[in-house]
Amino acid sequence: MLNRTTNFSFYTTAVLIYLTDNHISDINADSWRGLESSLRTLILSYNFISSLPRGVFNPLTELTHLDLSGNNLLDIEPDLFLSGPNRINSLNLADNLFNNIPYHELAPLK
């Protein structure tokens, strides 16, 4: 679980973080402290993430690839990507629990 004590500040040049199958259930914008200007690929597949709080990815201005496949997501906040990273060109949401494809919420992405 990524929590307030999780800190990536020693990895300020990391471009890829691979956190597949780590039993992560909660994430927030502070989870990425230290990675704001370097992280390009974030893989959070096959965890237990059920919601994405507003602004969770906003600090990651260089993020281009985001993998949230295999989690427990039911929906996406309407403004999740509205003011967040605008460079995302690869987003994997496969194997979640969506009832509908959230086209409107994903519209701000390229």
Contact call for residues 25 and 47 (beta carbons, < 8 A): yes
Q: How far apart are the C-alpha atoms of 58 and 102, rounded to whole Å?
A: 19
pLDDT at 2: 58
pLDDT digits (tens, 9 = 90+) for 92-101: 999 999 887 7
Residue 106 belongs to what H/E stretch? helix 103-106
* Residue ranges of the chain whose pLDDT lies below 50: 1, 3-5
Residue 17 belongs to what H/E stretch? strand 16-18
Write down the CATH number for the domain with range 1-110: 3.80.10.10
pTM of the model: 0.86
pLDDT digits (tens, 9 = 90+) for 23-35: 999 999 888 888 9
Cβ partners under 8 Å of residue 101, min gap 6: none
Residue 91 belongs to what H/E stretch? strand 90-92
